Structure 1
Amino acid sequence: MSLFQARWAKPLIATALLAAAVCTQVHAQSQKVFRVTAIPDESPTELARKAAPLVKYLEGKLGMKVEFTPVTDYAASVETLINHKVDLAWFGGFTFVQAQARSGGKVIPLVQREEDEKFKSVFITADPAIKTLADLKGKDVSFGAQSSTSGHLMPRSFLLQAGVDPDKDFRRVAYSGAHDATIAAVAGGKVQAGAVNISVWEKFVADKKVDTSKVFVFYTTPPYYDYNWSVSADMPAGQRAALAQAFLSLDASTPEGKEILGLQRATRFVPTRPENYKGIEAAAKSAGLL
């Protein structure tokens, strides 16, 4: 190496090392934001309200900034997780099955609410003449989003089991996009009946947001597995374990736990596994939705 080359080599190496250190620091800082999303099964304002205290809680447990990232539809919730644009996603059972299929099995269900082990849907109406699923023939009926487990897939599955084919027997099949929108459509007379997530219905009743003297449940489905919090299989095992423990540690006997569990409509969170959603996968294939 010439004297001229030697003179410039050290400054160039130092500059390169500094640039590498800066890039590493910037990357580390970007990784300090943990992003959470959820299927848009309710209004954006309600989803944000439910997420706020959970986000704050997870920040304390994970030791990093946590942000809630809303998505426009169910498909977007799947894509954002498998493309690593978010780290944690609240899925319905069917959305989880879709995410598993899209990712080649690289999505892991972490925890579910205790209620999700025996979840149910309800069919509601404002028409006193509608008393059974068979009475829906020739009627306008609303589901929620097409990818909704409790607002479409499982209600459709139980209709088919009862000998009612929505595509052939209903006068019109509507998709409201969300459970609260389905309730509004039934209450407003836009459709004669609708299928709704039981916990959203019970919340509407408890909050007196629906007049049960006019709109009522005429059929409740058998139980099935539903919602879960899912992550990518690429998430480091240590972070995955810390995240699961954060949910499992939520306790309704503490003010923080009571608020979060109440908003999540959960008694508590319990571990879950992919096998729990085989029934939903079978229902989706049977209904031609997967």
Structure 2
Amino acid sequence: MTSFSTIRRTSLKHVLTCAAAAAMLVTSGGALAQATPGVLRVSAIPDEAPTELQRKFQPLGDYLAKATGMKVQFTPVTDYAAAVEGLVSNKLDMVWFGGFTFVQAKVRSKGQVVPLVQRLEDEKFRSVFITTDDDIKTLADLKGKTMAFGSESSTSGHLMPRSYMLAAKINPDTDLRRIAYSGAHDATVAAVAGGKVDAGALNISIWDKLVAEKKVDPAAVRVFYTTPGYYDYNWTVRADMNPALRKKITDAFLALDKSTPHGKTILELQKATKFVPTKAENYDAIETAARSAGLLK
């Protein structure tokens, strides 16, 4: 079980400063590699267990290797801030970001990162609020309760749930008895199911997957609120990537089709109908929400 930390209001600068040492480490304990000719260094925010991220990426990595003619090296990172710092400091070439971590990378790099593609589903992504408490039926019922978010830098596991709570006149910092950060969506579900907290918020894709895999009983842990849609995950590269390589990567994602065996495998693992182009402007609302919530200085 991922350990929880009590809530603290943290500026982006503080998050990245505290994570600077961790940013150079991966879960296996090694350092993120410096640039190597012919190697595409890829990572993803750790919103699921490292083994699950590796399993989901392997077919995609093989596919991108063929499309680019490069060796594709996937390096899991310790936390969300490490994913941001890894791309900005040229320790990574491409990262699977959530909307908020993309915004953090954009701010941290002064606009020197480019989102290439997102899943069709990410144009109207949603979060769910879950509970085992029969008394919790609306966001207003969270007053005086305990609650788990995912990572502090998670779009769907923290930022957007927080923003919708604030819109409903529920301030997590003052209206809840306690909030905690689980670090990952599946850990949030485990915390709610295990009675560690009264409620939790996570992304709808992970929730649906856990229900489909029978890793959670929706009769015992139920959804009581689903947010409106918002832009979320994307694959992002640095702006200084060779334009020809950027095009090869983009074209490879856009060419994925469920009518082919490899396309079907990759898209199903990525929980995607298909990949579509995206742009930085799509995430302006995420940046506004982050600044309004005091999570981006």
Q: State the TM-score, normalizing by the size of structure 1.
A: 0.89
Runs of 4+ aligned structure 1 residues displaced above 3 Å come to none
Matched, 1:115 2:121: yes
What's the secondary structure of 1:30's corresponding residue?
Answer: coil
Amino acid across the alignment from 1:223? G
In structure 2, stretches of 5+ residues that fail to align are 1-34
Aligned to 2:152: 146
Report the number of matched residues. 262
Q: State the TM-score, normalizing by the size of structure 2.
A: 0.87
Name whichever of 75-84 and 144-153 sits farther off.
75-84
Distance 1:33 1:241 in 2: 16
Matched, 1:280 2:256: no
Aligned to 2:100: 94
Matched, 1:249 2:255: yes
1:30: Cα distance to partner?
Answer: 2.7
Aligned to 1:169: 175
What's the secondary structure of 2:118's corresponding residue?
Answer: strand
Aligned to 1:63: 69
Encode CA deviations 1:254-273: one digit per residue, 9 max, x unaligned. 11011111111100000000
Aligned to 2:204: 198
Amino acid across the alignment from 1:43? A
Amino acid across the alignment from 2:156? S
Distance 1:87 1:246 in 2: 16
Distance 2:46 2:115 in 1: 18
Amino acid across the alignment from 1:69? T
What's the secondary structure of 1:111's corresponding residue?
Answer: strand
What's the secondary structure of 2:218's corresponding residue?
Answer: coil
Aligned to 1:51: 57
Encode CA deviations 1:70-102: one digit per residue, 9 max, x unaligned. 100000001111111111100000000000000
What's the secondary structure of 2:144's corresponding residue?
Answer: coil
Distance 1:241 1:275 in 2: 20
Distance 1:46 1:191 in 2: 25
Aligned to 1:218: 224
Amino acid across the alignment from 1:115? E
In structure 1, stretches of 5+ residues that fail to align are 1-28
CA RMSD, 1 decimal? 0.8
Aligned to 2:48: 42
Q: Which of 105, 113, 130 matches 2:136? A: 130
Distance 2:285 2:177 in 1: 29
**Percent identical residues:** 68
1:157: Cα distance to partner?
Answer: 0.1
Distance 1:30 1:285 in 2: 37
Encode CA deviations 1:47-78: one digit per residue, 9 max, x unaligned. 11111111111110001110101100000001
Distance 1:41 1:258 in 2: 23
